[in-house]
Structure 1
Amino acid sequence: MKWFPILAAIICQLTISTLSLSAENFLPLKTTFVGQQKFQQICLLAERENWRQLEIGERMVRVGRQLEGTPYVAYTLEIDDHIESPSVNFNGLDCWTFFETCLAFSKMLETKKSSYTPKDLLAQIEHTRYFSGRCRGNYLDRIHYLADWFDDNQKRRNINDITNKFPTIVMPNQCDEMSKLWKYYRYLKHNPELRVGMAKHEKRVTQMKVSMIPKDKVRAIESQLKNGDIIGIARHGNGSYCSHVGIVVKDSKGRARLMHASSDYKKVILDQPLSDYLYRYQKHAGILIARPK
């Protein structure tokens, strides 16, 4: 049949095209990008004050300060029942979406443009949120554990994991939080088949060698931290290596304060110096540190 090779070629091309689609083509912008007015306000300020000339960590702090007071909203990443997409919400942030919005916005500014669009920021979100920097609409494309995010983004040179430059201990851990608490995650709740894949991810992450700086060692290293350093808050016990995340903001005394989306304060806040914050909660065991590149 003379038409068979042509048909096969067409099918092959359609398959490749489908696989190469960015997730932004799956969900509408009104779902994946919330708060365009706030986005444009920060863009205008960044251009007026020439944030582009700053080091990336300094840029992250500038973005973070503009997000200060934004309401805390849990499970901000769970935006659909089935289709996974890069997303941004300037009207509500959790700890993960706060730090990654600061990072993505800062990286976006490195490319000078006459104006920025939501697509520009979503592209940066996709680059760090997903394995190998690519989302194809599958929930398991996303990096769900912070220690895994550190590992993947270190390999792709988006960050330097500097944790082991300081006194550390290896963390014992059994990652199974999402498998056990699947009812709280829209995608896992509505797609039971994803739970098997998630369990495989968790088994792999459990086998990782993850180190932390114990909280009794943190005060001594605060002076060596920089603005914009990403701080994973290590937890005692199993479930996940980290239970929280924020960024460093250095104060006038040289103390490294934690800026984060706080479930206690119900908003993004500039909190206590890092070591003081750690001792506020018994569950906190120490920290992991990633320096953005």
Structure 2
Amino acid sequence: MNEINTRRGFLKSILGASALLFVGNRIPLFANQDYSVIGVEKLWRLVGEFENQTDIPINELMFKIANHFIGTPYVGNTLEGGDGELCRINFEGLDCVTFYELVLCLARSFKQGNYDINSLVNEVTFVRYRGGILDGYESRLHYTSDWIHDNVNKNVVTDITKSLGGLKFEPKVGFMSSNPDKYAALKNNPKLVKIIKKFEDEINSRKHYFIPKDKVNLIENELQNSDIICIVTSIKGLDYSHTGIISKAENGDAHLFHASTNQKKVIIDAPISEYLKKSKSATGITIVRPLEIK
């Protein structure tokens, strides 16, 4: 397993922005970056495959990249660690969030002509953290509804749910602040719990939309490759229980492409309307569409 870990202090010099460290001859690392990357060889293979294919729409580039992750093991909690909040990227193990996040950020990076690890880290940081700034555990967009809100504001995605006939719903998130013992960063840290609670209250004050479970089959033909699917849950304190992207079949069916907790790997699953029928807690979906970079 190839792992790169860097923890660098901020370079206090007017030349700091141009100060680079080079690992081998392929990986430029800015001296003020804090991150961890596992399985970086996968990035080089993807660069070789896609560096001349970036003129296609971003959703199609995402979909092509995603196909290279089929069979990747499902691994949870890859964003956690005992050495503080880092921008962690793992090519060798993905969960339902890091799967769509990674293929989205790879596509965004490639579309901008950026193929180095530092550019990918910058893109993941921009997408994963509130306002695009990594500033501790609390800056991570832990709740999917918060991720949607922030990335709509950053013009990374657009929420198309309402335009497809979506209805309002009130998630009432609060699971993290109500269960701090389940999170290493929150355990025995009441000050941080209060900060998380403030963000939960902000989430609960916003408008949210979803397509009810029994109506999803009516809008499947409107979906396209790489639309990000967020499955709304009835579980108390949570907003969404699972995520993935769409894989559009030749017959028009919109299959769920995701890191499956049941199959323990990345797969293309059943059509989303059929998949939802198997889950008692799933009440519907929210759909966000990746935007081209301007």
How many Å apart are 1:271 and its aligned residue? 0.6
State the partner residue of 2:5. Answer: none
Matched, 1:46 2:50: yes
- Specify which of 17, 35, 40 is matched with residue 36 of structure 1: 40
State the partner residue of 2:283. Answer: 285
| Aligned counterparts, 1:73-222, within 5 A | 73-81=75-83, 83-113=84-114, 116-136=115-135, 138-189=136-187, 191-222=189-220
How many Å apart are 1:128 and its aligned residue? 0.9
How many Å apart are 1:258 and its aligned residue? 0.6
State the partner residue of 2:4. Answer: none
State the aligned residue count.
Answer: 267
Provide Cα deviations, 1:71-118, integer angstroms capped at 9, x if missing partner.
11111211335x2122210011111110100100000011225xx221
Summarize the Cα distance change of 1:272–1:175 in structure 2 as closer, same or farther, 3 Å threshold: same
Q: Structure 1: which amino acid aligns with 2:237? A: G
Larger Rg: 1
Equivalent pair of 1:23/1:86 in contact (CA under 8 Å) = no
Q: Give 4+ residue runs of structure 1 displaced > 6 Å after superposition.
A: none
Matched, 1:232 2:216: no
- Listed as ranges, the gaps of 5+ residues in structure 1 are 1-12, 15-21
Equivalent pair of 1:26/1:85 in contact (CA under 8 Å) = no
Q: Structure 1: which amino acid aligns with 2:264? A: K
Provide Cα deviations, 1:202-261, integer angstroms capped at 9, x if missing partner.
121122221110011111111111111011101124312111110011011111111111
Distance 1:41 1:180 in 2: 43
> Per residue, is there more helix in 1 or in 2?
1
Equivalent pair of 1:78/1:185 in contact (CA under 8 Å) = no
Distance 1:94 1:24 in 2: 29
Percentage of identical aligned residues: 36
Q: Which has the higher contact order (CA 8 A, sep 6+)?
A: 1
Summarize the Cα distance change of 1:26–1:180 in structure 2 as closer, same or farther, 3 Å threshold: farther
Summarize the Cα distance change of 1:112–1:186 in structure 2 as closer, same or farther, 3 Å threshold: same
Distance 1:63 1:183 in 2: 37
| Aligned counterparts, 1:9-28, within 5 A | 25=32, 27=34
Distance 2:94 2:184 in 1: 17
> Per residue, is there more strand in 1 or in 2?
2
Equivalent pair of 1:171/1:241 in contact (CA under 8 Å) = no
Equivalent pair of 1:69/1:269 in contact (CA under 8 Å) = yes
